[in-house]
């Protein structure tokens, strides 16, 4: 029996670092050191000798490379699909990357990222169909739905999937009476990838993408599988809003209720009714007044609040179960 040559595996750490900049959710992007022109998330190797845990390693190289101090950090998933880093003919080690969601307050980062090519950019630049704060994005009806319905109509009847393509389109994008679920960020991205409608699908030589004569402009592509990692991070953060007070990791220690609402809207991609939102915050006892007023509102002074940390001991799921207004 001949010995099988195993492909060496390396462990990488990839960070989706979120901050709020002017009521917009932003993600830290960094250019690679290999001349790759595409934007990507910060990533680096795990050094098992220098770092006792994966999270310690993540925090260490992010601060070293960018000068940013991470606050809340949460492990997402391990991304190790074949082809995520390797190209045809590569003989280097296969990189399996552990993805992380990290939150940082803009006020905590008094200096800009210190590595060349690193900058915060709006995350809706990569997922323009996810921002419903003003209205249903026009790109859905103009570009996405027609292309997906054409793709769905080409499905063979002997498919083994639990849901047909048409049903997946309806559930993911809220067509034909289905409700839009803001947490299905990754499902929508995977559907567009499978249908060959995004640049990463063409780069990975997926048959559906190679069969297309033209590729619609559906958000900015990212290097490797970083847009998939970012979709996972956005979906996780949107879900967490409802049962954990993670939103306060993105706000300054003192804030107005308008600041809080705009931050929740920015993350969820939904417009929220002002009075209903304030009743929800009051009922949840998540904040308490500081007794001070803000004069930075551009109008009448507004009361300042802070996160009421006692709520963490009072109930197991202190979040904001917001409902958007369509």
Residues 6+ apart with CB under 8 A from 275: none
| Pair 216, 197: CB distance under 8 Å | yes
Nearest CA to 101 among 291, 196, 193, 233? 233
Fold of the domain built from segment(s) 243-314: Arc Repressor Mutant, subunit A (1.10.10)
Distance, CA of 196 to CA of 207 (rounded, Å): 7
From residue 86, how far is each of 44, 46, 83 by CA, in Å?
16, 18, 5
Nearest CA to 58 among 37, 43, 36, 80? 43
**Single pTM value for the model:** 0.91
| Pair 45, 141: CB distance under 8 Å | no
Q: Report pLDDT for 326.
A: 46
Distance, CA of 250 to CA of 262 (rounded, Å): 12
As to burial, measured by CB atoms within 10 angstroms (0-12 exposed, 13-18 middle, 19+ buried), residue 296 is exposed
Q: Report pLDDT for 270.
A: 94
Q: Which two three-digit tokens encode residue 108?
A: 């905590």
From residue 246, how far is each of 71, 240, 307 by CA, in Å?
11, 7, 11
Fold of the domain built from segment(s) 9-126: Nucleoside Triphosphate Pyrophosphohydrolase (3.90.79)
Q: Report pLDDT for 34.
A: 57
**Domain definitions of the chain by residue range:** 9-126, 138-218, 243-314
Q: Report pLDDT for 48.
A: 86
Q: pLDDT tens for the chain, 326 residues: list them.
A: 456 677 778 889 999 999 998 889 999 998 765 556 788 998 888 888 888 999 999 998 888 777 787 889 999 999 877 655 545 556 677 788 999 999 998 766 544 555 556 789 999 999 999 999 999 999 999 999 999 999 999 998 766 778 899 999 999 999 999 999 999 999 999 999 999 999 999 988 889 999 998 888 999 999 889 999 999 999 999 999 999 999 999 999 999 999 999 999 999 999 999 999 999 999 889 999 999 998 776 678 899 999 999 999 888 888 888 765 44
Question: H-helix or E-strand containing 11?
Answer: strand 9-21
């Amino acid at each position: 029996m001949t010995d099988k040559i195993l492909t060496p595996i390396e462990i990488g750490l990839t960070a989706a670092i979120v901050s709020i900049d002017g009521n917009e959710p932003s993600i830290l992007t960094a250019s690679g050191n290999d001349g790759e022109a595409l934007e990507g998330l910060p990533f680096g190797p795990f050094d098992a000798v220098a770092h006792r845990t994966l999270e310690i390693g993540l925090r260490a190289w992010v601060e070293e490379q960018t000068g940013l101090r991470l606050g809340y950090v949460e492990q997402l998933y391990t991304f190790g699909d074949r082809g995520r880093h390797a190209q045809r003919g590569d003989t280097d080690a296969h990189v399996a990357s552990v993805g992380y969601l990290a939150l940082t307050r803009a006020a905590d980062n008094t200096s800009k990222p210190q590595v060349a090519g690193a900058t915060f950019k709006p995350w809706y630049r990569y997922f323009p169909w996810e921002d419903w704060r003003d209205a249903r994005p026009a790109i859905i009806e103009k570009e996405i739905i027609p292309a997906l319905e054409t793709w769905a109509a080409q499905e063979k009847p002997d498919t083994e999937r639990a849901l047909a393509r048409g049903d997946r389109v309806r559930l993911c994008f809220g067509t034909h009476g289905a409700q839009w679920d803001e947490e299905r960020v990754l499902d929508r991205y995977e559907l567009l990838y499978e249908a060959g409608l995004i640049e990463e699908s063409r780069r990975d030589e997926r048959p559906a993408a190679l069969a297309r004569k033209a590729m619609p402009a559906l958000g900015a592509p990212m290097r490797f599988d970083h847009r998939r990692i970012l979709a996972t991070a956005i979906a996780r953060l949107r879900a967490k809003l409802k049962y954990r007070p993670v939103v306060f990791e993105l706000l300054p220690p003192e804030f107005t209720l308008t600041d809080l609402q705009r931050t929740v809207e920015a993350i969820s991609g939904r417009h929220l009714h002002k009075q209903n939102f304030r009743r929800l915050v009051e009922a949840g006892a998540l904040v308490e007044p500081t007794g001070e007023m803000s004069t930075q509102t551009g109008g009448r002074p507004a009361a300042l609040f802070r996160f009421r940390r006692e709520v963490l001991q009072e109930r197991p799921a202190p979040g904001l179960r917001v409902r958007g207004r369509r």
